[in-house]
Amino acid sequence: MNSFWDHPILIEPSCSKLAKSSVLAEQCIQEEENDGVVMSKLSLGSLNIFRSTVEVMLADGILTREEKRLIIKLASSLSLTNAQPGEIYLAIKEGRKSPKGDNISAKQALGIYTKVFEVAIVNASLSRDEFRVLAHLRSVFEIDDREHALIEDTLRDMVKEKFEDPNVMEKMLATLRDSVGLVGDIFDTVRKKTVDGGSS
């Protein structure tokens, strides 16, 4: 995986990419529902989840170093092969469809989201764009407020165990609080747009 991520990742900027990625899940689910089967977003598969997340990151045409940290952790947590991230990127760049990937259970989704969120709070220099990625993952993984509160507790315990220095620990806990608030705000905004768009 490292050989792919070591190269600069550029793509034609597009204001529509964020919108397209946000409806990718809905389109795929709609195809299944047209066949008479009601599906959740988790049925998208690991590669579709990875692809939609990369598309969110590439909305401005480039993957930053901080975004790469998140997407590398996501690829690892989704158990992608070394070749698959590059294949997905090329499919995005060339406008081609890509394979669905393996199914993700609700339990796996919570674990994956927690791992990616941990990277975000440890690397506290993330921008609103990177937190938009976390909000996207929360939406795709269908993580509700109760589940997110449990994830916050897990991350809070992780910070207390990992950082012995009280000053560092307090800084990380503050970062966690700020991160949770920002992701929640973005998530609520995206959710409201989805509902409004669906009702129009």
pLDDT digits (tens, 9 = 90+) for 57-84: 888 887 888 888 899 999 999 999 999 9
Asked whether 4 and 85 are in contact (CB, 8 A), the reply is yes
Supply the range of the domain harboring residue 30.
2-199
pLDDT of 2 strictly over 50: no
Determine the pLDDT at residue 178.
Answer: 79
Domains held by the chain: number: 1
What is the rounded end-to-end Cα distance, in angstroms, of the chain?
Answer: 42
Q: What gap in Å lies between CA 96 and CA 68, rounded to an integer?
A: 22
pLDDT at 116: 93
Per-residue confidence (pLDDT) for residue 20, from 0 to 100: 47
DSSP tally for the chain: helices H, then strands E: 9, 0
Average pLDDT over residues 160-186: 82
**Which residues are paired to 181 by β-bridges?**
none
Q: What confidence tens digit (pLDDT) does each residue in 131-154 have?
A: 888 899 999 998 998 999 999 999
